[in-house]
Amino acid sequence: MDELLFEVDDGVALITFNRPHARNAHNRAMLVGLADVMAQMAARSDIRVGVLTGAGGNFCAGMDLKAFLAGEDMRVPGTPMGELGKPVGKPMIAAVEGYALAGGFEMLTFCDLIVASEKACFGLTEVKRGLVASGGGLLWLPRHLPFRIANEMVLTGDYMDTETLFRHGFINKIALEGQALAGAMDYARKIAANGPLAVMASKRIMRESASWPLDEMFARQRPLTQPVFASEDAREGATAFVEKRTPAWKGC
């Protein structure tokens, strides 16, 4: 059985964690597969947005502790997690059913949008196992949640429910149980219909600008936005609007 499933349709890449017998806990093989998928996401012009989900009613329960005890090295270059990670340039949407725990929860912190089932369960549970959330959770979570809420998750290791994280702005949309993927695909199709250069530049600026000095913000933004305004897609978008038709994006 493939540890990770990958399919592309009409600009949307669907990435599915596929270890349902282990609540999709990740071993090295799954992370190697994820690194390969991320490389394809970056290289392929036919992919405009990615959707991340899990098979069998769970998102991902974190690191497979049996694999950890067996000595598997989980430091895989090319995944978005950890110090060896690479940023994802294209939008990523998570569709969460069931458990999203530990490393599985950390994967949510590099996603741009999250749709979660009303019955989903979230947690950074590493401290309960004598471990540390070193895959980005400690670094990114305080940027996504109020500081004391992030502290509560990290230091207690307790679960949080969908409604609580929605109320604090971590989740975009609550779906009925079993409908998270449908909600995520709705977002994905809307994003895939937009200008790809504009979407990627917008994502990059939104992610990076939080650390820019106020007096340099527009200067740092300019080299990222100017190529978009000068692109064929910019003219195509304006022309399609005037001609009352759907744009035919070229990504250049």
Catalytic residue set: 106, 126
Q: Which helix (H) or strand (E) holds 150?
A: helix 147-156
For residue 179 the two structure tokens come to: 């409908």
What is the length of the chain? 252
Report the 10 Å Cβ neighbour count for 163. Answer: 13
The closest of 146, 181, 145, 164 to 51, measured between CA atoms, is 181
Could you tell me the sign of the dihedral formed by the alpha carbons of 52, 55, 56, 58, in that order? negative
The closest of 19, 117, 93 to 60, measured between CA atoms, is 19
Report the phi/psi class of residue 26: left, alpha or beta, with left for phi > 0 and alpha for psi in -120 to 50: beta
Task: State the amino acid at position 84 in one-letter form.
Answer: L
> DSSP label at 174?
E
CA dist., res. 198 & res. 139, Å (int): 27
Report the 10 Å Cβ neighbour count for 106. Answer: 27
Q: How far apart are the first and last CA of the chain?
A: 38
